[in-house]
Amino acid sequence: MDFSQDKTFPVGRTFVKHFLSDSRSGTKSNRTKFYVSYDEENLYFRFDCREEFFRPEHNEFNAPLYEGDIVELMLTFGEKNKYLEVEVNQNNAVYLAKITNFDGKGDISIKLFGENFIKSAVSVNQTGWTCDIIIPIEKLTEKGWEAENAFFNAHRQDFDEKGYLNLYSLNPPLSDTFHVTDAFLQMKFN
């Protein structure tokens, strides 16, 4: 799906598949399938990742998971420059932070959440891994999330065997950082 003109993303009650593209160039890729849906209580996200070389780093909550392979969500808290960052790796370790993005291009401050209020599940097989993330709407709302003013983006970072970092995004920021708020898409709930 091309989001260059219409920066909205329809979210329904059943999963719809989308592919993540190269974050730096915008080139289409079939390495990561992304799904999103919702019900009255939760937002549901799934990443299906093709993988030849697994490189998860860390097993602890709020460890620097970005040092290895991760999937990542960014969901705004009422304003585009304040958002939840969710990272999950192949070990099912979780990183949760509130980000303030001062310039919309990656000049950020990070405040880690003290509790893991999401649910995640990871399954690994010979061709890759799948990560399911469930985020309770009640918890998001307590932290400032507004369904009518919700923006987000979905990402994956994948190190290859030589250490090269591949970056993929639902709506590519055309940058080496995922923290580009102009690339966020407005969630339109059906």
pLDDT at 178 over 80: yes
Whether pTM > 0.85 for this model: the answer is yes
Model pLDDT for residues 96-109, shown as the tens digit of each residue: 999 999 999 999 99
Q: How confident is the model at residue 8 (pLDDT cuts 50, 70, 90)?
A: low
The pLDDT mean for the chain works out to 92
State residue 13 phi and psi, 5-degree precision: -90, -5
* Domains of the chain, each with CATH number or no CATH: 31-189 (2.60.40.1190)
What does the CA dihedral 89, 163, 113, 92 come to, rounded to 10 degrees?
Answer: 10
Tell me the one-letter amino acid at 178. Answer: F
pLDDT at 10 over 80: no
Q: What is the pLDDT of residue 190?
A: 82
Rg (CA), the chain: 15
